[in-house]
Structure formats: C-alpha cells, structure tokens
Structure 1
C-alpha cells in the first residue's frame, strides 16, 4: 500500500514490524524442531567436532549458550549460529526476535527466553528452564542444519 501511494513516511515502523514478526516466526519454527522428547545428551559427528573447535569443549559451549540466554536483557533468545566468513560456530544473544545478530549467520539451535517459554512451569527461575532445555535438544536436527549451513557462501 505504501509503495502504491508513494508514501513512505511509515517505512521505519513497517520495516521494524516486518523484521520482528518474520524473525519471530522463523525462530519459533526452528525452536519447535530443535526439541524432541528423545533429545538431550551430547551431539556427535561433525557438529560435535565443530563445537569442540569453536568452544574448546561441549561443556564450554553449553555454559556459553546458557549464560548468553540467561543474560538477554528483556525478552529474546540464545542462539548457536554458523558464521560463514570465519567458518566457525558462534553464540549470539538475540534481543526480541531480530536485534543484535550478525548478518548472514544462520541459526542452528535456538533457546527461547521470552516469558511465555518458561514462566508457567519455571516461574522466574530462568536457570531451571535453561537446564531443562538441554535435556530435550534434538541434536540430529541441529546437525542437519549445520550440514546445510556449511554450504553457504556469503561473499
């Protein structure tokens, strides 16, 4: 409508709304697939090796992602992403659904830190939610996302 009327006075708000809602949809879609009742334990194969290379150990990775998620200011996400320029895994804090992320780094594993994800069961004890999350991580899903992400050529 704004294009048809050539009125872009609301472009900033329209773009923010698009980024917020599209990113929220993408992150929630990933989140549901990142969990499984048969999940948990540790990854194996290429994703396990890459975690070791990028973070020193699985425990180092788990601690970093947990702390990033727990320390999101307000609502947001903790995310394991593939950074294609450096060819490495990184942990990111995502504010709301779309802020504070590197361009071109596809998310592989996301941890929802909005209150709706944990409050009914864990109240304000977010650390218990984060600890429980590790018991349901669907590592085969994360590994498949990693395999696809490594094929990405950003530049």
Structure 2
C-alpha cells in the first residue's frame, strides 16, 4: 500500500459551520451534508437519546460484526460526552456525535431508499459497494437535488468512520500500544513515536478535511494512509482500517484551534488499544 495524502471540502452546519470550516464548506454542501432545520443544534448527550437516536453501543465491538442492515441508526457513545476531556471536550463530542454523526445516518438512510441491491448489506459491506447505487438524483433533507452516489458515499463512509472512531477511543485508553498491534507497529514503522509522527505529518499535509488511518493488509503489514471527505481504506482500496483519526475541522477546532498536528498527537492519549487489537485481529482473519 502506498501512503497517500489527499484534499477535501467540509462544512458543519449553516452559519456557524461556514465560519468554522471556511472555504471548503461548499464542497460538502454540494454532496448533501447540510444540517436540516429539524436537527438544529441539538447536542444532547447520547445517554439522553430519543428512540430516533438510539443505537447499539457496541455496534463495532468487532469490525467484522457491525450487524447493521438498515435502516441504520445512531449508536450511543460507549462513554459520557465529557469522558474524553481534556483530549476531546464535551462540546466537541456533543456536536460531533449528537448532530453530525446523526446527520450522516439520516442521509445514508435517505440515499439507499428504493435501492434493493443493497438490502441485507452490513455497514462495512456498503463501503466497497458504491457500484450498486443508481446514478440518479435524490432530494436531500432540505429538498435540494443531489446526485445519489455522492450522498451515499459521503454518508455511508461518515456513519462507518464515526462508529469506528468512537469505539477506538476510551477514557481508560492511552499509553503505549499493547498486544499484537504493538509488535506490528514496531515492525512497520520502527517504533510508536515514528507512527505518531507519520500520522501527524500526513494529516498536516492534507490541507482539507478527511481522515488519517492506520490500515493493514491481509499479511498484517501496516501503512499510514489519508483519505478525503468521509472515504476510508475500504472505499479507496487501501487495506483494512485498523483505526483512524478524524481531522475534519469540527473534530479539533474548538479544542486545539488551528493546531491540527497537536490534536493528532494528543489523540493517542485516549486510544483504545484493546479495540484496536480486535480490529487488527480481524484484518488478519483471526475473528
């Protein structure tokens, strides 16, 4: 696998999003990522979720068992919204999960309505099945006409990526890697510090919005890859996603300002190495 950095666009929501996201917002709006009036800025804790937002806390407890076939639902966080502070603040978590991830779920469900070819596919299986989506147009949640494949790709990836993201963090996480992933990091990168620096540099080199990942091939070799928008290693054919760090502006701007690199390094203070080991085992076919 080749290491890659790519450029992307982004928006959060209407007025405030345009200020936070800057010039990249138009690209995201063009692919259906808009916050409808009914969503507003409702940033309730996931523990206060209504039936509309309830999901399975361990929806990605193992990456091979997402178990979701649709209509898809928002998984509850496996911890309180303030549990990852100060690495990630309660304000950031409430917005990121309660508003933005919820929107990805709504738009994913919208994009697959009336598409029988994707019925029965899990969330993970959807990532590599864009070809099953008709090349037609649909109305987004505000009635604007959008290309269906664009809405599907952004939001199928957004739901998958964020579900993985929440599970690979923990208030009891951090420290040095443990288990098989520790050995794999040393083999592929030399040491843990080199991995962190490589991920930081890849995120900084990507001036738009996206994700930076550690992906594995079937033999267990790891590589750092960066993807645009809500793409991931599965959508882009870059291996199996072991873990990823979201570097859309809403992930870090409240807490780190423009210091994207510091955010990437700080993320490892909450890395859930137990779950990351589960995902690495899945990449090797052990689960």
TM-score range normalised by the length of the shorter chain: 0.7 to 0.9
Higher strand content, 1 or 2: 1
128 and 104 in structure 1: CA distance in 2 versus 1, 3 angstrom threshold: closer
Q: Which runs of 4+ in 1 moved over 2 A?
A: 1-4, 7-13, 99-102
What are the superposed Cα offsets for residues 64-108 of structure 1, whole Å, 9 maximum, x if unpaired? 112112222310011111122x54111110111117864162211
What is the aligned-residue RMSD (CA, Å)?
A: 2.6
Mapping of residues 129-144 of structure 1, within 5 Å: 129-144=263-278
Residues 148 and 99 of structure 1, relative CA distance in 2, 3 Å threshold: closer
Structure 1 position 89 matched with structure 2 position 222: yes
In structure 2, what is the Cα distance between the partners aligned to 1:99 and 1:151?
19
Q: Does 1:77 align with 2:211?
A: yes
Determine if the alignment matches structure 1 residue 103 to structure 2 residue 103. Answer: no
Aligned partners of 1:8, 1:93: CA distance in 2, in Å?
26
- Alpha-carbon distance in structure 2 between the residues aligned to 1:26 and 1:138: 17
Q: Tell me which structure has the larger Cα radius of gyration.
A: 2
User: 1:16, CA displacement in angstroms?
Assistant: 2.1
The match for 2:156 is 22
Residue 134 of structure 1 aligns to a residue in which SS? Answer: helix
**Aligned residue pair count:** 149
Answer yes or no: is the 8 Å Cα contact 1:73–1:95 preserved in 2. Answer: no
State whether residues 154 and 229 of structure 2, in contact with CA within 8 Å, keep that contact through their aligned partners in structure 1. yes
SS at match of 2:214: strand
Partners in 1 of 2:147 and 2:173 — Cα distance?
Answer: 39
Q: Which runs of 5+ in 1 are unaligned?
A: none
Equivalent residue, structure 2, for 1:41:
175
Q: Is the 8 A contact 1:70 1:113 kept in 2?
A: no
SS at match of 1:73: coil
**Residue 20 of structure 1: CA displacement?**
0.9
Which one has more relative contact order, counting CA pairs under 8 Å at least 6 apart?
A: 1
**Local SS of the residue matching 2:224:** strand
Give the alignment's TM-score, normalised by structure 2.
Answer: 0.47
Change in Cα spacing, 1:48 to 1:99, as seen in structure 2 (3 Å) is: closer
Deviation at 1:52, TM superposition (A): 1.1
More helix by share: 1
